[in-house]
């Protein structure tokens, strides 16, 4: 069973992000760990009680930014990523944001488009990985 919750368990979220971004994708720890975690809302996803993915919502002016979206390799293709994003979007809506932005890795554009996001602007580099900005109006 997939479950998503708003959490204050930053240690678990950072552990998941370490596996996906630092160990799997080769992102440096300096690029992964920043000063936004304390001001962000964190969403944790579990399968049968086991933490398997997370994301964070960072407040902006007139929008929220969903980022650090990660799902362990063993849980990809289970629907957990979509459930995680839907929970994040619902939390942004609950917090009153009219728009959600994110920086999508190019290989994930289709995933976010299926959730209603629209790509904008040119490809940009984030921690050595090509991304595009995407926007969802709520």
Cβ atoms of 44 and 82 within 8 Å: the answer is no
Q: What pLDDT was estimated at residue 108?
A: 94
- Beta strand 99-105 with 2-7 is unpaired
pLDDT tens per residue, range 61-90: 999 999 999 999 999 999 999 999 999 999
CATH number at residue 58: 3.40.630.30
The count of domains in the chain is 1
- Does the predicted TM-score (pTM) go above 0.85? yes
User: Per-residue pLDDT averaged across 124-135, rounded?
Assistant: 94
End-to-end CA distance of the chain: 27
Phi/psi at 125 (5° precision): -95, 130
The parent domain of residue 81 ranges over 2-137
CA angle 67, 72, 73 (to 5 degrees): 125
| Percent of the chain at pLDDT exceeding 90 | 96
């Amino acid at each position: 069973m997939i479950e998503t919750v708003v959490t204050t368990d930053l240690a678990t979220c950072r552990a998941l992000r370490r596996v996906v971004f630092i160990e799997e994708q080769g992102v440096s720890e300096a690029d992964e760990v920043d000063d936004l975690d304390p001001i962000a809302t964190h969403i944790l996803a579990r399968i049968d009680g086991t933490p398997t993915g997370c994301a964070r919502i960072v407040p902006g002016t007139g929008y929220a930014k969903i980022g650090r979206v990660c799902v362990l390799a063993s849980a990809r293709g289970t629907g957990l990523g979509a459930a995680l994003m839907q929970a994040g979007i619902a939390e942004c809506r609950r917090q009153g944001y009219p728009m959600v932005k994110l920086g999508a890795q190019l290989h994930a554009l289709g995933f976010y488009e299926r959730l209603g996001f629209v790509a904008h602007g040119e490809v940009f580099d984030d921690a050595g990985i090509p991304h595009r900005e995407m926007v969802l109006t709520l």
